[in-house]
Each structure stands twice: as structure tokens, then as C-alpha cells.
């Protein structure tokens, strides 16, 4: 044991290195592997072609979420290609003895929602999934990141992947967040400052008062969006908030095992004097409710501001013009008052109970604007049940909103939940890329509060006027 100070990231990474290859990557051991129907079939096919088995089936967990419908889930899935992917997931998991929470299972939901809510995600773990938003699980002090299908095959066959160790960045946000400023706004603010590639090559630790005072749901939202600034992942040191969230969850450790694990988890923090390759500090008071105006998540700003001019941005003026042209916006435009056609609340970014509580806090006692189509999609059946238990369902119904069934839905529009070409959607999801929510769709990323305000007024609206 070396006495030199270590970061949280180093502690977790170093304890999972099986072998270091000179002038090459680390052979990196994976504790938890999540799979879903879209990025796993070719990996299972690869196993078959090579005649390999699954080394530790009990360390892999499957759920169906990416292409599943969000209405009438009791009926057969109409799209034959989606139905086939779901069938393959069922067959593959059954063949190799892997846990599978498919469509209709009460534990089904978005992979990054169901992992934590069932106690599968724990501090100090290494977690991967063929999905870039796997960074979500970093909220628990785990190293979690997205992988490609070749790597899914590696984890299935050997429980390891081969990864060069990323360099380290710490992002501090200090002070107290203002009224109506949510974890989503904190993340969109950071991304707008760093750009979509500003953290590429880094693994991020989030620190400071703002994250210490944040709920687990909020921390998950922040870590989820780490990939949108290019970081492989982001993590937050586990603390009492983390332990309280985990305690009692179905697959979480119990009894003596809990005590033993808790002792270890309490060591998972960055030692004072640790050095990061880069460190950035922001002030909470500089952050207001955010909204994006362009075609990548770095193109965001405080909702009261005007769209920046290309001359004020570094490089890429032609890409910037292309982006605004796609969105139908002009430099200097105010976003407030822009017409909204669709509102989407859900996804692995903002599909947890706290997000629906926030949404309901604004729509309560008000009515949805007639011209707005709203898709309200819980992240899991557990979240759906909470929405009913807490009376949020009644508030939504009263205000003219229907609740759909869990899944990734309009975030990536693999199912029928597609925003039509040219239409504007305020979305609580994570990507505003061209066509992300359907061919030709135009996405404005925002928090559940901004989404709620837009759903009520039918235009982009500062939510603070309703609070």
C-alpha cells in the first residue's frame, strides 16, 4: 500500500486491474454488466461463432428498454425488427442463465433507472453497458461507462475489457443553487462551458457543496450527462445520502455483509492532496434554468439569454451556421416565447420520481396547452407505481396529461415515439442531435421544470414565474 494520496477514481480503477500491458491498455475487471436488446445480439452471435460461453452469468443483468413501445405493452410488439431483438434477448439470456427483466416484468424499465433502484449498482464497483449513458451509475461512486458491442462480447466471455486508464478531471460547483435551478441545469451549464468535447479523454469527479447537497436522483442526472462533454464517465464520492438510498433495496447487501461493505464504501473518497490532470470550479449562483438552441448538448444557455453569435465562439462557424439553420433559429434570438409543439419528460436522464415530482409541481392546478403533444414516460414500473402512490398521476390527469409506460421512448425514437420533421420538442432527455428524436425533429434540451412550463404555456417559458 502506497501512502501517497489517491483520488476516488484511482482507488476504484486500480483495484480492478487484472494485468497492465506495457504500451497498451489495462485488462480491467467488470463487477456489473448491464445489457439491453439493441447492442447485445451481435455480441451473443460472436460468442456462438467463436464457441465461447458466458464466464460469470450472475454478473450480467438484462432489461428491454431501447425499442419497446410505451403504450399497450401487454400486446405483441408490432414492429417485426424490434420484436425480433426482444426475442433474441429473451433467448440469449435464457440460454446462458442471465437475469432478464423483459417487457411486462414488474422490474422492467430503462437500464440506468432499474440498476440503481434494485440495488444492483453499488459504490466502488466497475459497471459497463453497451450504452453511453452508463455514466449514470457513477453517482454512487462507481466507475461506470458505455462500451461498444465488441466489448460487450469481451465482458460476456471474460468479464474484462481492455481499457487505457483515462486521465482525471475534477469539476467543483460551490454555493447554493437558485430557485428553479435543477441538477439538469447544473449539467447543461457545465457542458455549455466545456463544449461537447471538453472532457474527452478524462474521467470526471464532481465535487463541492452543490453535489454534496444533491439527492441521488439529481446526482444520477449529472453523472448521466458526463458523456455529453466527451468524458468517459463521471463520479461522485458516496456519502450518507448514497448509503441511505441503497439500504434495503432488493439486491443490496444485507446484515453482516452490509456492515462490511459500508466500511469499505466509507473509504471511497479523494484523499486531500490528490492531484487531478485538470480542475475547474464554477459558482452555483451563476447557473440559471438552461435550454439548448442548437444540435449538440454544448449549445445551451441560460433561458433568459439570447442565442450567441458565431463570432463569439471558437472555431467551427460553418458547423454553427448549419446547426442554427437546422433548428430554424437565428443568432441573437431570444428562446423565451418560441413555439413548442411537443414536450417529452422521461429518459435515463430525467425519468426518475423526483423528475415527475418537479414536473407536477408546475402543472398542478393548470392545464396543458391545447396545441402541445406531451409524452410523459416513467423510467421504470417502480417509478410508474410511485407516480400513482404519490398522487402525481391525478395531478397529471387533471392537467390534461396522459402517462405512458416505461422505456427509452422519444429520447432516441427507436419505437413509435417520434417527433415529426420540423416540429419543436422541449425534452428532458440528453441529446439534441439532428434527427435524434425522429427524422427532422428539433430538440430543445431542458429540465423537467422548463418542460412543464412549456407544456402549460405552449412556448419556451422561464419556469421561475410559476414557482
Partner 1 sequence: MAYDSFKVLRSSAVPLPIENVDTDQIIPARFLKATERKGFGDNLFRDWRYDKNDQAKSDFILNNPTYSGKILVGGKNFGSGSSREHAAWAIYDYGFRCVVSSFFADIFRGNSINVGILPVQVSPEFLHQIFTAMEKNPKAELEVSLPEQTITIVSTGASESFEINGYKKNNLLNGFDDIDYLQSMKGEIATFALNR
Residue whose CB is less far from partner 1, 312 or 370? 312
5, 97, 104, 164: which one binds partner 1 (CB under 8 A): 164
Q: Binding string to partner 1 for residues 107 to 146, with x set by CB under 8 A, is what? A: -----------------------xxx-------------x
How far, in Å, CA of 167 to CA of 276, rounded? 8
Which listed residue (150, 247, 309, 334) binds partner 1 by CB under 8 A? 150
From residue 299 to residue 318, what is the string marking binding to partner 1 with x (rule CB under 8 A)? ----------------xx-x
Q: How many CB atoms lie within 10 A of CB 226?
A: 31
Which stretch in 77-85, 205-213, 215-223, 343-351 sits in contact with partner 1 by CB under 8 A?
77-85
CA proximity to 139, closest of 112, 108, 164: 112
Task: Give yes or no for residue 27 binding partner 1 (CB under 8 A).
Answer: yes
Output the CA–CA distances (angstroms, integers) from residue 241 to 219, 236, 340, 424, in the order listed. 10, 11, 37, 37
Contact flag: residue 232 with partner 1 (CB under 8 A): yes
R_g of the chain computed on alpha carbons? 21
Which cell is 280 given? 475547474
Contact 128/145 with Cβ under 8 angstroms?
A: yes
**Exposed/middle/buried for 239, CB within 10 Å: 0-12, 13-18, 19+?**
middle
C-alpha cell at 465: 414565474
By C-alpha distance, which of 437, 444, 433, 403 is closest to 418? 437
Number of residues that bind partner 1 (CB under 8 A): 71
Q: How far is the CB of 465 from partner 1 (least distance, A)?
A: 34
Q: Which of 60, 63, 82, 457 binds partner 1 (CB under 8 A)?
A: 82
Residue 299 CA to residue 322 CA, distance in Å, equals 13
Query: Which residues are within 8 A (CB) of 439 and not within 5 positions of it... i.e. 6 or more apart?
Result: 418, 421
When asked if residue 85 is in the footprint of partner 1 (CB under 8 A), the reply is yes
Q: Which stretch binds partner 1 (CB under 8 A): 173-181, 204-212, 341-349, 409-417?
A: 409-417
Closest approach, Cβ 365 to partner 1, in A, equals: 37
The answer to whether residue 226 forms part of the interface with partner 1 (CB under 8 A) is no
DSSP codes, 360-377: HHHHTTS---TT-EEEE-
Closer residue to partner 1 in complex, CB, 233/238? 233
* H or E stretch covering 146: strand 143-146
Instruction: Give the shortest CB-296-to-partner 1 separation in angstroms.
Output: 5
User: Restricting to residues 88-107, which ones interact with partner 1 according to CB under 8 A?
Assistant: 88
> CB of 294: closest distance to partner 1 in angstroms?
10
Please state, in angstroms and rounded to a whole number, the distance separating the CA atoms of residues 430 and 444: 10
Question: Binding to partner 1 (CB under 8 A): which residues in 273-292?
Answer: none
Strands 290-292 and 300-302: antiparallel
**Among 175, 201, 253, 308, contact with partner 1 (rule: CB under 8 A):** 201
* Stretch of 97-105, 177-185, 193-201, 351-359 contacting partner 1, by CB under 8 A: 193-201
Rounded Cα distance between 342 and 425, Å, is 4
415 vs 461 by CB, closer to partner 1: 415
- Convert residues 430-459 into a mask of x (bound to partner 1 by CB under 8 A) and - (unbound): -x-xxxx--xx-------------------
Burial of residue 62 (number of CB atoms within 10 Å: 0-12, 13-18, 19+): buried
48 within 8 A of 20, measured Cβ to Cβ:
no
**Near partner 1 in 32-71, by CB under 8 A:** 38-39, 41-42, 45-46, 50, 52, 55-56, 66-67
Amino acid at each position: 500500500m502506497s501512502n501517497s494520496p489517491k483520488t476516488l477514481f484511482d482507488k476504484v480503477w486500480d483495484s480492478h486491474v487484472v494485468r497492465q500491458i506495457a504500451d497498451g491498455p489495462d485488462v480491467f475487471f467488470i463487477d456489473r454488466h448491464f445489457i439491453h436488446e439493441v447492442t447485445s445480439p451481435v455480441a451473443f452471435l460472436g460468442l456462438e461463432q467463436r464457441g465461447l460461453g458466458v464466464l460469470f452469468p450472475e454478473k450480467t443483468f438484462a432489461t428491454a428498454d431501447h425499442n419497446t413501445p410505451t403504450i399497450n405493452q401487454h400486446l405483441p410488439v408490432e414492429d417485426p425488427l424490434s420484436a425480433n431483438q426482444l426475442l433474441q434477448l429473451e433467448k440469449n439470456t435464457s440460454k446462458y442463465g442471465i437475469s432478464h427483466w423483459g417487457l411486462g416484468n414488474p422490474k422492467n424499465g430503462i437500464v440506468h433507472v432499474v440498476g440503481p433502484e434494485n440495488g444492483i449498482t453499488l459504490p466502488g464497483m466497475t459497471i459497463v453497458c453497451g450504452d453511453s449513458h452508463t455514466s449514470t451509475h457513477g453517482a454512487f461512486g462507481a466507475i461506470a461507462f458505455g462500451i461498444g458491442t465488441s466489448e460487450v462480447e469481451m465482458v460476456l466471455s471474460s468479464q474484462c475489457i481492455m481499457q487505457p486508464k483515462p486521465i482525471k478531471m475534477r469539476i467543483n460547483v460551490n454555493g447554493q443553487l437558485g430557485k428553479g435551478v435543477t441538477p439538469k441545469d447544473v449539467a447543461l451549464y457545465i457542458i455549455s462551458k466545456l463544449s461537447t468535447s471538453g472532457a474527452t479523454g478524462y474521467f470526471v469527479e464532481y465535487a463541492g457543496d452543490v453535489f454534496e447537497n444533491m439527492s441521488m436522483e439529481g446526482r444520477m442526472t449529472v453523472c448521466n450527462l458526463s458523456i455529453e462533454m466527451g468524458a468517459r464517465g463521471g463520479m461522485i464520492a458516496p456519502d450518507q445520502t448514497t448509503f441511505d438510498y441503497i439500504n434495503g433495496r432488493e439486491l443490496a447487501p444485507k446484515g453482516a455483509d452490509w456492515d462490511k461493505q459500508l466500511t469499505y464504501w466509507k473509504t471511497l473518497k479523494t484523499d486531500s492532496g490528490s492531484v487531478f490532470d485538470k480542475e475547474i470550479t464554477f459558482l452555483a449562483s451563476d447557473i440559471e434554468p438552461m435550454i439548448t438552441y442548437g444540435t449538440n448538448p454544448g449549445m445551451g444557455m441560460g433561458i433568459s439569454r439570447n442565442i450567441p453569435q458565431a463570432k463569439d465562439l471558437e472555431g467551427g462557424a460553418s458547423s454553427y451556421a448549419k446547426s442554427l439553420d437546422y433548428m430554424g433559429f437565428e443568432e441573437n434570438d431570444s428562446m423565451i416565447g418560441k413555439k413548442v409543439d411537443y414536450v417529452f419528460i422521461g429518459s435515463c436522464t430525467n425519468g426518475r420520481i423526483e423528475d415527475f415530482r418537479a414536473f407536477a409541481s408546475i402543472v398542478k392546478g393548470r392545464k396543458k396547452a391545447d396545441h402541445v403533444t406531451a409524452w410523459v414516460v416513467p423510467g421504470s414500473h417502480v417509478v410508474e407505481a410511485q407516480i400513482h402512490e404519490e398522487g402525481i398521476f391525478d395531478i397529471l390527469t387533471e392537467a390534461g396529461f396522459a402517462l405512458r409506460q416505461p422505456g427509452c421512448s422519444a429520447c432516441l425514437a427507436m419505437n413509435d415515439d417520434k417527433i415529426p420533421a420540423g416540429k419543436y420538442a422541449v425534452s428532458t432527455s440528453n441529446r439534441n442531435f439532428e434527427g435524434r428524436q425522429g427524422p427532422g425533429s428539433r430538440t430543445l434540451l431542458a429540465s423537467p421544470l422548463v418542460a412543464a412550463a412549456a407544456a402549460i404555456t405552449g412556448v419556451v417559458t422561464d419556469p421561475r414565474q410559476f414557482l
